[in-house]
A and B are shown apart, each in its own frame.
Chain A
Amino acid sequence: MPPHESNDLPPNLAELAEDFHAVTQQERLQLLLELSRELPKPPERYAGKLDSMERVDECQSPLFLAVEVGQDAERTVNLFFEAPPEAPTTRGFAGILHEGLDGLPAQEVLDVPDDAPYRFGLSEAVSPLRMRGMVGMLARIKRQVRLRVQSLDLGAGQES
């Protein structure tokens, strides 16, 4: 399978991967920059509460992540990120994952292949080492989703 094959990614993430592959290396960085600018601020309930978020140590700049899983049947996932403006690459990675995964059912997030960060054609421009930041973000998102789903399922079991 070529590295940019994207038919096993959720639709929004697949679309982003295609967008990245449709442009030149330099334009990819501009696309990443746009995503970094569009990364939404976390809601008020996380303001000043970085310790309630998970720090992604794999990123070369501080990035904090919060994962919420809804109690609806699909266990809808919402993602929140906090990263400083002087770390646009890290913010761009978060932007890709936010745009691609926010609002999806938990199972679809869990099904995202672990090598998804390498499907955007960024390894050359951004260096493999930095790519690990996005790999780390995805792994932590999936781990948190798994834990929260388990805990919700457990709670539901106790109620019935």
Chain B
Amino acid sequence: MTQQTEQTEKIAAYAHPERLVTTEWLAEHLEDDNLVVLECNEDVLLYDTGHIPGGLKLDWHTDLNDPLTRDYIDGERFAQVMGERGIDRGTTVLLYGDKSNWWAAYALWVMTLFGHEDVRLLDGGRAKWVAEGRELTTEVPQVTPVDYPVLERDDSQVRAFKDDVLAHLGQPMVDVRSPGEFSGDLLHMPDYPQEGAMRGGHIPGARSVPWGRAANEDGTFKSRAELEAIYLQEQGLSADDDVVAYCRIGERSSHTWFVLTHLLGFEKVRNYDGSWTEWGNAVGTPVER
């Protein structure tokens, strides 16, 4: 089933329609042999309260981050995380989660660092599945572990580090945080805990396009035409631009990275996961208000 393309009109219009599936599609394909469904949430306990039948938990914090270094896990650990969930290199992985798929998009982006070929998001995430009254279960599937190859993570294509961003100044950059964070009035998103940045503001030259502008009320992505109106017409970006997206720790900007890369077909978008918690604390980095 690798690369099977979604057939709704909305999804077919995206640049890479194979990256997104509807709740209807998932309900029909839950039993597919080569599909592994992973739930990745901000709230670590949410999966345990009930999840999509057959779905497994992926914790962005404990499964994908190195416990010591502020970095992602290495190839060996990644192979373990995947293999113990029954995922091999050819498995179709479907990610969904809470908070409009922020963490699901983040996990999808981390899987991209390891070049996993077929990884998709559930349009609307967990909230849409629940809102539609679809089945949830607390039963955790028993998985037979498989071998996933140990691969080196490739940060060069979709990830930007602070030095990359410094070198990128003057080229297109999208700040997906709230307007208050962009202006420097707030050092964290409204209603979220203070995350210790010493300076407020934004990276010079970045455009403010809060992540939520790409989403509908129900957490689904806006249509391709609506997204083009925002990023192409209004912001003047084009699909061959070299773009860096950032937020506070890289989860909301993973959502925007997904939109630009997979829904609009931008060729080079990098997520700066160090984001404002790094930039706003780094000595000597330029800040604009």
Contact = CB atoms under 8 A, between A and B. Distances in A.
A88 interface: yes
Nearest to A57: B191
A33 B43 contact: no
A33 B195 contact: no
Nearest to B67: A124
A33 B61 contact: no
Interface stretch (A7-15, A126-134, A151-159): A126-134
A76 B191 CA distance: 30
Interface in B181-202: 191-193, 195
A89 B44 contact: yes
A125 B191 CA distance: 23
A87 B44 CA distance: 9
Q: Binding site of A, secondary structure by majority: helix, strand, loop or mixed? A: helix
A56 to B, nearest CB: 10
B167 interface: no
Contact of B43 (A57, A87, A124, A129): A87
Given A86-B43, A87-B43, A132 B193 contact: yes
B43 A30 contact: no
Given A86-B98, A125-B62, A127-B61, A57 B46 contact: no
Q: Binding site of B, secondary structure by majority: helix, strand, loop or mixed? A: loop
Contacts of A124: 62
B193 A89 contact: no
Nearest to B61: A127
B191 A88 contact: no
Contact of B49 (A55, A88, A132): A88
Contacts of A136: 193
B192 A125 contact: no
Contacts of A127: 44, 61
Contact of A86 (B46, B48, B62, B191): B46
B42 interface: yes
Nearest to A92: B45
Interface string B110-133: 000000000000000001001000
Contact of B195 (A86, A126, A129): A129
B43 to A, nearest CB: 5
Contacts of A132: 193
Nearest to B126: A86
A99 B45 CA distance: 19
A127 B251 CA distance: 15
B98 A36 contact: no
A68 interface: no
Nearest to A58: B193
Nearest to B130: A86
16 contacts: A32-B45, A33-B45, A33-B49, A36-B45, A57-B191, A60-B192, A60-B193, A62-B191, A86-B46, A87-B43, A89-B46, A124-B62, A125-B44, A130-B44, A132-B193, A136-B193
Please list the 3 inter-chain residue pairs (A to B) with the smallest Cβ-Cβ separation, ordered nearest first: A88-B45, A127-B61, A132-B193
Given A89-B46, A129-B193, 9 more contacts: A30-B48, A57-B191, A57-B193, A60-B43, A61-B43, A87-B46, A127-B61, A133-B193, A136-B193
